[in-house]
Structure 1
């Protein structure tokens, strides 16, 4: 006899309170892991002083987390589908919390970097499995609203990084940017253990160990090459070797996965789905454009306008609040407005917002950024819920973890590409613009080093060593080079976002979504049946996707610078 959970929707089996707890736990976990992407930047000076750390060591504190986060996203999603989403999510949560504790107690920079890498691995599990957990508990308009909240939290965690990091570092010390995760995370973990519903794919194939090793190895090498390319030299032997090795491993991974077919960790048949390819491409382009832009804008407010981390966070509140409101609105629109329209419009708004950075100048106030912040905030707010929802809508519910892992992988690779690529372009552009200035010519051979210092935020220190009579002219030249370089890079980012808008309009199609996702949308927009027979048939049809979401239905895949 079939267990009643196979035909009963999750919200009836668990209760609306259970669904709410699941959403809350996923949002708390996502907020913490994404916050740790940006919050550490604020504390780097204190960490350097505490450990007398070199620049290379500080780079590893940042890179280790990004590397761990990117390396196992796809793996974590596939494991969750096979071993149980709640189980894998909670294991990742424990790893993240223990690593956070180790970061806060680290006695030197090496231990801190190692702990950051482990923290990234735990965060990857949370990031990959979280959207699948939301998708299994919510359908139709409720799912759209849930992903609206989730998308808002994603944006808030990134935007609030400098604000929270500054408050904790100034008030309690840098170790508390890690230690604060522990009490909050323990409460969320207890709720997860008590209130979350388990899900696993019945008759799941054996673990794809070859796929796991090959893909994680390839992505680790690729991300590491991107992170280290600027400092080591893009044409240096280690960077070229890592990039080539990553390509070779990806090719071998593709061959292995093709042979495994339905048993594969990543089913290559997904790449025949136009919408899957479109969402993946837009996710990568959006992450590359927006994340690099936010990092550079934060650098501008701190290093050119000379605001403290706390003051910088306050001035980014217009972007933060706009993003959150737009995400809440987007959640309710995902079942009412064509998703290709939402995705295309969101990237178009981001492009406009990035282009409006051109309103700033060497001597403008921070308020010149307000039009840009509003455009970026609305665009990101609209994009995040749609992206998260579409990422699992292209596959049957039993493979939502895999699909979510793929989507988050594209996002993190986009972040790495954007920060590395646009960061390198910005560094080079600011340096060149400064060297070409009249004030720089008076420095002679030292002009290039001075320009590089301006590009990485060390202009104030460089000015303190410059001849006193040249300081006013050098200060003006440095400010001008920084702002002009920022504007140039933001215009390139805007062009990338505009390409993403075109891809969203052209390649996101409702007919490519899995039938359960299309049926969820239709139940929200079609009128109810009027005859008893039709009503019974409608109820029977609606129960089908609910059973699949429950995991039992199996069907084929569809002053300072």
Structure 2
């Protein structure tokens, strides 16, 4: 074991376990949503918080954790983060109600935020330039495998065991990662002293929380004055945060404003937010559609969702090669168009009683689009950033992409919930003629508030049949209720998917303003690159692919 201590490949294995665990948990949760609703009695807005609590913690704390890694040592922060994530996973699995699960999901997000910034930094630290490209290439494969494995592993665990095992599976992985880090990773060395901006962290946390809470809970509280006060308060606190950061630009701000002077950096952050928004816009409605409308098991739904990863694997490599030769402008544009087009395709073909193939084909197209975004987005965002700001640039970019996930989940959830509430009422009224006259009024009334407490596991709104229904008519009544839910959900899903497609379209348009790549940034005077510079460029390209893949997998939560 002593021979392995400090061995970069052994360290990569340990870091990959922690990395894989956090990304697996993001995709694995979606497939278990119906089962969690069924056993915990969670409402739709609570389901949104189960997914958002994790992402919100990541968005708020990513930059802070990176700073703390410099202060307290990257090894220490990685170990603390994995340990906290593992304990929180155990607590999630033992949760008895939605409130407990939401709380421990937030703690999970805290642990993930502590460990994720340290992992890529440690890889760069322990690998020499000549081997860094291969190491970061493996890093990208781990990101892709975790995204592909999440739905199928989750479906298998939920089908054969219980939803709680999607969290329990993290415990042995976490223990292995902690022990491996303690034994194999070298002792931390403090090389740079950073000031901890507690005020900035507090302001950004409050601003993001108020915004997310207002958007997620808006439908539930009928967009009353308190909701709009929270959204307005978020804007006000956000403005104070920017003023605070302005006063710290001469020191070590959380957000260096000089980064945004580069057009490509600013535009790529817009693109990153759009991609994160689009992924969330797909996974929340499509998971419910596959299991509750089409009646697929969790395992079958997970297998169908692998189509997304198949498309990603098909284009990620070629996109990386083409980016190195041509720049990322048109590759990014193509990727976003394919991604958004896939969303529109699913919205067009979704129907009650449909099969898996009409969904799987557009999922492959969407995956191909996503594969075209990983490397070019990361390359363009870092192309003109000076070396002294690369860490800050990476932190800001990752944090903004997580903000995109939070905003996406909030907006998509609000649109889906709002449309579903009205669609259920409308469909119940349309189909009430199939219900015996004595039960029609109660049947329609049962769907009035269904959008606020959605039983996505049962294939209907969760509304119980009216009391006193004869057994001979109960089956017909249940079929009518299922039809009401299925058609209502599709009516609500279509505009929801189109909202996400619209955001992706804005991201695609922003790509048209990216500065054209003609080789001047990498080789401004046409001088041939040295072998060391070529190796460094290859390492940067592989790292960009890994960073982009890692960013995409969390957006699926």
Give CA deviations for 1:427-470 in whole Å, capped at 9, x if unaligned. Answer: 33344445445634544552752763897635536576167455
- 2:366 is equivalent to residue 367 of structure 1: no
Structure 1 residue 200: deviation in Å? Answer: 7.3
Match of 2:170 in 1: 181
Inter-partner Cα distance in structure 1 for 2:354 and 2:345 = 14
- 2:237 is equivalent to residue 249 of structure 1: yes
- 2:480 is equivalent to residue 481 of structure 1: no
Contact 2:215–2:414, Cα closer than 8 Å, also in 1: no
For residues 133-172 of structure 1, the aligned pairs below 5 Å read 133-134=122-123, 150-151=139-140, 153-154=142-143, 156-158=145-147, 160-172=149-161
Structure 1 residue 489: deviation in Å? Answer: 2.8
Contact 1:287–1:414, Cα closer than 8 Å, also in 2: yes
Structure 1 residue 24: deviation in Å? Answer: 4.5
Match of 2:344 in 1: 355
* Distance verdict in 2 for CA 1:204–1:145, change over 3 Å: same
Match of 2:211 in 1: 222
Contact 1:42–1:166, Cα closer than 8 Å, also in 2: yes
Contact 2:461–2:485, Cα closer than 8 Å, also in 1: no
Inter-partner Cα distance in structure 1 for 2:214 and 2:394 = 24
Match of 2:445 in 1: 446
* Distance verdict in 2 for CA 1:432–1:236, change over 3 Å: same
Inter-partner Cα distance in structure 1 for 2:207 and 2:519 = 29
* Distance verdict in 2 for CA 1:471–1:508, change over 3 Å: farther
Q: 2:247 aligns with which of 249, 259, 265?
A: 259
Contact 1:392–1:400, Cα closer than 8 Å, also in 2: yes
Inter-partner Cα distance in structure 2 for 1:274 and 1:87 = 36
- 2:506 is equivalent to residue 499 of structure 1: yes
Q: 1:414 aligns with which of 404, 421, 443?
A: 404
Structure 1 residue 19: deviation in Å? Answer: 5.2
Structure 1 residue 499: deviation in Å? Answer: 1.8
Match of 1:465 in 2: 465
* Distance verdict in 2 for CA 1:432–1:345, change over 3 Å: same
- 2:63 is equivalent to residue 74 of structure 1: yes
Match of 1:307 in 2: 296
Inter-partner Cα distance in structure 1 for 2:24 and 2:86 = 14
Inter-partner Cα distance in structure 1 for 2:506 and 2:47 = 34
* Distance verdict in 2 for CA 1:423–1:205, change over 3 Å: closer
Deviates more, 1:84-93 or 1:312-321: 84-93
- 2:279 is equivalent to residue 280 of structure 1: no
Match of 1:553 in 2: none
Structure 1 residue 293: deviation in Å? Answer: 1.0
SS of 1:465 mapped into structure 2:
coil
For residues 42-191 of structure 1, the aligned pairs below 5 Å read 42-43=31-32, 61-106=50-95, 110-134=99-123, 150-151=139-140, 153-154=142-143, 156-158=145-147, 160-191=149-180
Contact 2:332–2:508, Cα closer than 8 Å, also in 1: yes
Inter-partner Cα distance in structure 1 for 2:288 and 2:31 = 10
Structure 1 residue 213: deviation in Å? Answer: 2.4
Deviates more, 1:404-413 or 1:292-301: 404-413
Inter-partner Cα distance in structure 2 for 1:148 and 1:346 = 21
Contact 1:39–1:161, Cα closer than 8 Å, also in 2: yes
* Distance verdict in 2 for CA 1:292–1:26, change over 3 Å: farther
* Distance verdict in 2 for CA 1:271–1:78, change over 3 Å: farther
Deviates more, 1:390-399 or 1:132-141: 132-141
Deviates more, 1:467-476 or 1:248-257: 467-476
Structure 1 residue 423: deviation in Å? Answer: 2.5
Deviates more, 1:25-34 or 1:145-154: 145-154
* Distance verdict in 2 for CA 1:543–1:62, change over 3 Å: closer
Structure 1 residue 201: deviation in Å? Answer: 7.9
Inter-partner Cα distance in structure 2 for 1:470 and 1:419 = 34
Give CA deviations for 1:309-343 in whole Å, capped at 9, x if unaligned. Answer: 11111122222222234334444444233122332
Contact 1:427–1:452, Cα closer than 8 Å, also in 2: yes
SS of 1:311 mapped into structure 2:
helix
Point out where structure 1 has 5 or more consecutive residues left out of the alignment: 1-13, 529-537, 549-561
Name the count of aligned residue pairs: 517
Using the size of structure 1 for normalisation, the TM-score is 0.78
Inter-partner Cα distance in structure 1 for 2:196 and 2:535 = 30
Give CA deviations for 1:207-234 in whole Å, capped at 9, x if unaligned. Answer: 2222222223322333333333333443
Contact 1:100–1:182, Cα closer than 8 Å, also in 2: yes
Using the size of structure 2 for normalisation, the TM-score is 0.78
* Distance verdict in 2 for CA 1:462–1:394, change over 3 Å: same
Inter-partner Cα distance in structure 2 for 1:387 and 1:162 = 25
For residues 387-402 of structure 1, the aligned pairs below 5 Å read 387-402=377-392
Structure 1 residue 306: deviation in Å? Answer: 0.3
Inter-partner Cα distance in structure 1 for 2:381 and 2:125 = 13
Give CA deviations for 1:21-44 in whole Å, capped at 9, x if unaligned. Answer: 555444433332233234335545
Inter-partner Cα distance in structure 1 for 2:382 and 2:55 = 23
